Amino acid sequence: MKNALHEKYDLRLPRYTSYPTAPHFTPTVNGEVYRRWLADLDPAQPLSLYFHVPYCEEMCWFCGCNTKITKHYAPVGSYVEVLRTEIGNVIAALPGRYQVSHIHFGGGSPTIMKGDDLRAIMDNIRAGYDVLPDAEIAIEMDPRTANRDLMDAMRDCGFTRSSIGIQDFNPVVQKSVNRVQPFEMVAQVIADLRARKMTGINVDLMYGLPYQTTETLIETVDQTVTLNPDRLSVFGYAHVPWMKKHQNLIPEHALPGTTERWAQYETIQKRLCEHGYVAIGLDHFARADDAMAIAMQAGLLHRNFQGYTTDRAEALIGMGPSAISSLPQGYAQNDPALGRWKRAVVDGVLAIEKGIAIDNEDRLRRDIINELMCHLSVDVADICQQHGTSPDRFTPEMDRIRAMMVDGIVKVNDANITITESGRPLVRAVCAAFDTYLNHAHGRHSQAV
């Protein structure tokens, strides 16, 4: 039965961190459009800020991010200066002084920065915004470059959460993807964070990597749990060497097939639940008393470009090359080319390369997809009522989803859709029924499992 499901549903599908998704962004949204959108933001609503740091000291061969490799600090220091300029450009485009409820540094490897540069960025943020006392301030960390100088700066700047890339502890797997970091190294980083009173610890694991087996993944999960993270993200490796050329260095013959990937996903999920973690959406896990698990139980979980989140800000402003902003009017993405981004910022231009304006139809479908991704269920009639429309408009979509019932993926009661536990890995396939932009032949998405 499972093999048949693999064949039928393991399509290349979006991760639905937005709707419409990034492949549908176009140059019709540029810096001037974005400037008008910023000017229309409600000053009474807090903002969320994202900062992209596009540098690493080494390339992980599985990486799908926008990053550059440097062994010298000069490019990073120069980048920080331009990023600080962009912070000022965005503040100048806003119609007032805003509160900030979430701040997230991603990459690349933000831990490549020196502590004083992180302090300078945070000083710029606090000079232009009112950072709320309970704001979550988070950073993605590469244990190989996370040093105590940076962690001291994180403590001084009020960071509350760290997301640490583990991926896998097996040395054969680590070597095959060019990310060698022993368990002891990761354990020391986490101990150093906790010694500085930063107790919000996320870790990232991956399946579908070369030479992984269900047995080695159980060992990695068990080792990871001894570190007592409060949240885990578990991602399937997306092998897209036609987009990311460095992935050609991955030993393709050692990649698990679809059936094995499915088994790996289920093994990790089962093992984490046995350790007391609550499964959240497609690929996150949290302690039952964690804010994310509580938000899920309350129906308040959300999804954005960083994945599952408790962030409910209606506007997320992204800064740095390739960073995506999500505003009530639509999405806007900065130029991913570092040189062009720098020139635009220095010239005082909002460095938007592309994006998409959304309409009421998009918002309706986005709400349905978000409910499915976050809570594995949705009352289509209720969502339609909130948008002032009839659920009858989704008759073709509901027929398509009812056809999935025979495979045990969903249960449907009138306009209420519930994804079964066995259907959890295929939640993106259910969401795709509501995606009017999707073309399954498009080669830019990852496997559903």
pLDDT cut 90: percent of the chain above it? 90
Q: Please report, to the nearest 10 degrees, the dihedral formed by the alpha carbons of residues 246, 251, 252, 254 taken in order.
A: -150
CA angle 224, 419, 370 (to 5 degrees): 80
Give the domain-ending residue among 357, 384, 410.
357
Residue at 344 is within a domain: yes
Asked whether residue 229 falls in the same domain as residue 193, the answer is yes
What total number of domains does the chain contain?
2
Residue at 16 is within a domain: no
Predicted confidence (pLDDT) per residue in 58-72, tens digit: 999 999 888 999 999
User: Are 321 and 344 spatial neighbours (Cβ–Cβ below 8 Å)?
Assistant: no
Amino acid at 94: L
User: Is 80 exceeded by the pLDDT of residue 44?
Assistant: yes
Asked whether residue 151 falls in the same domain as residue 164, the answer is yes
The Cα 108–Cα 51 span in angstroms is 11
Asked whether residue 378 falls in the same domain as residue 414, the answer is yes
pTM: predicted TM-score of the whole model, two decimal places: 0.93
Asked whether residue 417 falls in the same domain as residue 283, the answer is no
The Cα 219–Cα 419 span in angstroms is 29
Asked whether residue 156 falls in the same domain as residue 169, the answer is yes
Asked whether residue 285 falls in the same domain as residue 309, the answer is yes
Residue at 408 is within a domain: yes
User: Is 90 exceeded by the pLDDT of residue 439?
Assistant: no
Asked whether residue 351 falls in the same domain as residue 393, the answer is no
Give the domain-ending residue among 357, 376, 409.
357
Residue at 176 is within a domain: yes
Range(s) of the domain holding residue 127: 21-357
Residue of 5 and 147 predicted with greater confidence: 147
Give the domain-ending residue among 326, 357, 388.
357
Backbone angles phi, psi at 18, to 5 degrees: -155, 165
* CATH of residue 286: 3.80.30.20
Residue at 294 is within a domain: yes
Asked whether residue 252 falls in the same domain as residue 396, the answer is no
